[in-house]
Structure 1
């Protein structure tokens, strides 16, 4: 009987220990399940935080892409920041969501990049405002330049008009025409076949506005058939921006006072025809007189 009592006590103790062990195992298992759920929730939260951080970097990249500037230096700096953000986005994709220290570093970098972007926005707005001001100033300057140009053009027109008036006022004029045909003995003749010289005499009127000094007077004599009498096709002078032939010429000294002038044309045998001849007189680039004469 004495041996049965201790055996019963041992069995009871074993039951108690087993029960406690089961309870402890159950508690540990329950705590394991709770910790696992908490860890899973933390991982999911950190994964969401990583995804949100990636989205914020991508949004920042789009914001940088929207920045435009006409300044080459500023554009280069913007491009460098865009490349930096692109590299950071790729780096974030490769790290684990549970790497809290790295996530914190990227958050700080994001804050820094946003601050830099705000500075870029301020600079671009300032440049755009300055460009607008310069554009307005440029328009004002252009208007002033156009106004000055218009005034200059008007002055040029007035100058040109005045120059034309001066030219007209300084143009020599002739009168008192006498045209004669002379034979080989320098006697006057009206018969075309006997004329060896044509003498054209006229008077240049007084003109105090005309330039004084040496001048060349040119004659152009047209036959009745409108053929020009010429000694050489190389005998030319300038008239109305063209080189034209002349029949005869003479150099005179003009002093502004009335001056009598005679010019001779030596005709070849058989060159002259009966009929009405036209004589035009030129000097200083102007036609200063016209007259006609008859040969029989």
Structure 2
């Protein structure tokens, strides 16, 4: 009986030991499997974190300078805000543990959202730039047409001015003949300075059917050897080339477009000097003739 009892006891102990060994082996195997699974998950999350960081960096580089490609201040401001958001998320990703699966997935979603927003901004920038190019091209075309029109108007203006100048020249009075006689007090010709009492200016205005008929003021300007002007008064002036100049004598004639001869006289009341004198004849604000004479001692 005692032997049988011992056998039973040993058998029970053996079975218990075997059970413990089996349980220990199973626990060790399960623990090893779990450790391997954990290492695999850590490796996978480390890779995913690394990939996510690279995606952030690549996306950040791809959007560099995007805000400078638009002249729309509001859009440029929004682009800057999104780029700042990317930078903030990149800094946050660096501090996340690889085992924090939830946070890494959240950052993935954040990147997808920011990327979607910035893609919309890229489309808007491209659209605005295209519109600007179209408007610039249209503006260039308008400027070109305006310049062409301006050049045409300028050419017409020049042609008009040229035509008006030709008409004005054609209508201007001209002297057919101009001569000067110096006379004594007995109306005899002389070239002696001390005997000259009268300067007689003979002129003939040529026929010109283009000139406007009517009264014409003819002015004679006698220039002395020292480039002075023989004049009675400082107030004896007439308009010429946008200024007032002195005249020696004047006459009003009635011109009808045909040859017209007449005479102007200058009575000498001043001391004359020997030398060369010149007579300039004016009408309608134009110099129409010149003649010269000499007085000797």
Q: Give the alignment's TM-score, normalised by structure 1.
A: 0.80
Deviation at 1:44, TM superposition (A): 1.3
1:55-70 to structure 2, matched below 5 A, reads: 55-65=54-64, 67=66, 68-70=69-71
| Contact in 1 for aligned 2:238/2:247 (Cα 8 Å) | no
| Contact in 1 for aligned 2:218/2:253 (Cα 8 Å) | no
Change (3 A) 1:259 1:189: closer
Change (3 A) 1:98 1:69: same
Q: What residue is the counterpart of 2:250 in the other structure?
A: 250
Within 2, Cα distance between the matches of 1:265 and 1:17? 166
Change (3 A) 1:176 1:8: closer
Structure 1 gap ranges (5+): none
Change (3 A) 1:44 1:256: farther
SS at match of 2:194: helix
1:206-285 to structure 2, matched below 5 A, reads: 207=208, 209-210=210-211, 217-223=218-224, 225=225, 227-231=227-231, 246=246, 248-250=248-250, 252=252, 256=256, 258=260, 260=262, 262-264=264-266, 266=268, 268-269=270-271, 271-273=272-274, 277-285=277-285
Change (3 A) 1:74 1:194: same
The CA RMSD over aligned residues, in Å, is: 3.3
1:1-296 to structure 2, matched below 5 A, reads: 2-3=1-2, 5-65=4-64, 67=66, 68-175=69-176, 177=178, 179-181=180-182, 187-188=187-188, 190=190, 191-205=192-206, 207=208, 209-210=210-211, 217-223=218-224, 225=225, 227-231=227-231, 246=246, 248-250=248-250, 252=252, 256=256, 258=260, 260=262, 262-264=264-266, 266=268, 268-269=270-271, 271-273=272-274, 277-296=277-296
Within 2, Cα distance between the matches of 1:15 and 1:186? 181
Change (3 A) 1:34 1:158: same
Give the stretch that moved more between structures: 232-241 or 170-179. 232-241
Give the stretch that moved more between structures: 84-93 or 11-20. 11-20
| Contact in 2 for aligned 1:230/1:245 (Cα 8 Å) | no
| Contact in 2 for aligned 1:216/1:249 (Cα 8 Å) | no
Change (3 A) 1:293 1:26: same
How many residues align? The count is: 290
**C-alpha deviations, 1:64-110, integer Å up to 9, x for none?**
22532233332222212211111111112222222222222222222
Deviation at 1:170, TM superposition (A): 2.3
Structure 2 gap ranges (5+): none
**C-alpha deviations, 1:128-170, integer Å up to 9, x for none?**
3222322332232232122212211211210121121122122
